[in-house]
Amino acid sequence: MHSSATKPEPLVYTVEEAAAVTTLGRSTIKQQIADGKLRVIRVGRRVLIPRQSLEDFLAR
């Protein structure tokens, strides 16, 4: 039996994942974070970008 269930979208993205889904470069994503245009969550050394933050940024 073949399942047609889709994988849920992640709640957060790494910088690399955000770059891939937006087709922007990693350096562009990092610059937007540095400029305060993308809200991030820091967990230890990891930088995570909430999906809503990415959607809000792209809607501008």
Q: Tell me the per-residue pLDDT of 1-59, one tens digit each, with 9 for 90 and over.
A: 565 678 889 999 999 999 999 999 999 999 999 999 999 999 999 999 999 999 999 99
Structure tokens at 55: 């959607």
Structure tokens at 40: 């991030």
For position 13, what pLDDT does the model report? Answer: 98
Q: How many CB atoms lie within 10 A of CB 56?
A: 13
For position 3, what pLDDT does the model report? Answer: 58
H runs (alpha helix) in 1-60? 15-22, 26-34, 51-59
For position 39, what pLDDT does the model report? Answer: 96
3-state secondary structure of 25: coil
For position 5, what pLDDT does the model report? Answer: 72
Q: Measure the N-to-C terminal CA separation of the chain; round to a whole number of Å.
A: 43
Domain architecture of the chain: domains with CATH: 12-59 (1.10.10)
Query: By C-alpha distance, which of 5, 21, 6, 25 is closest to 53?
Result: 21
For position 7, what pLDDT does the model report? Answer: 85
